[in-house]
Amino acid sequence: MSARDKLRDWPTYEQTTSAERHEIARWLASALGPRFTAETKLVGRRGLVAVRLDRPRISYVAIPGGTFLMGLSDLDHEDAQGRIDPYEDEAVAFLEAFRSCATPVRYVEVPAFLCARRSLRAADVKILGMECDADEPTEAATLSPRDAANAATTLGARLLSEAEWEYIAREGGKFSWINAPADPEEVAAALAGDGPHRAPACTSGLGLWGLALGEWVADGWHDSYAGAPADASPWDARDEPEVFRGCGAATYPWQGSGELLAMHAAFRHRACDTFEELHVRTAMDLP
């Protein structure tokens, strides 16, 4: 079986040995070219392989392929309903609006791909010849939709699709909340706090940092998933992204119980004046 085939789905990957996983990393680095180096350590609770881009210095995790149920299922809705204040009218309305735009649910097949372990930092953006408002080089950068798409292209990468983003947020369909099994509010508080944000709650089981800070994805906006494709490609991709995901930590501390819902892996939001600039996580296809 080829190194590429070992990433085709989770059951196949989980049967590989540590030596085979390091072999996959070396194959990826070689196939991607001289700008990439195989990481020597496996990543996250699930022992994923990673490669490192030399400039800007960004690690990419190889995410095995798989099929998952995308959107807010009845079980997800029941779970979310139990976490908000039923007497808070705004929270109840927020949940129903969430349900409306994240249904009908559907199974989506996601091919294996490479996902950046973190969003772009201020130093990365500078290397790409762009500017952002971050004060420190290591601070996560926020960019407008157009600048986000341009940064990904300049890097030789792309933005994730909505399906890919939800797939990683669910850890391949394993969880419903970002960085589970950690408590959603614990995750939001850790990411929204001061300091280096190295608390375990800041990183998912796939070794991905900062998923709850709000990130652009490549899709155009649709009011529901009616007519959505069954594959993981961006739906009606735009030059300027119209959708973002995972903004629960961006608004913490929350003003009402409904804001917790933005920590759900299925939560999606249309670009708006409240969030004019957001974080940029990039992805690449397997070579």
Residue with tokens 């950046």: 116
Give the pLDDT confidence score for residue 14 in this predicted structure: 97
The chain-wide mean pLDDT, for the chain, equals 95
Q: Is residue 13 domain-resident?
A: no
Digit-coded pLDDT (tens) for 71-108:
999 999 999 999 999 999 999 999 999 999 999 999 99
Domain tally, the chain: 1
pLDDT of residue 272: 82
Look up the pTM and report it.
Answer: 0.96
pLDDT band, residue 197 (cuts 50/70/90): low
User: Is 195 a residue whose pLDDT tops 60?
Assistant: no
Flag whether 133 is in a domain.
Answer: yes
**What are 224-238's pLDDT values in tens digits?**
999 999 899 999 998
Report the percent of the chain where pLDDT is more than 70: 98
In a domain, 156, yes or no: yes
- Boundaries of domain holding 194: 68-108+119-285
- Flag the least confident range among 63-67, 123-127, 194-198, 229-233: 194-198
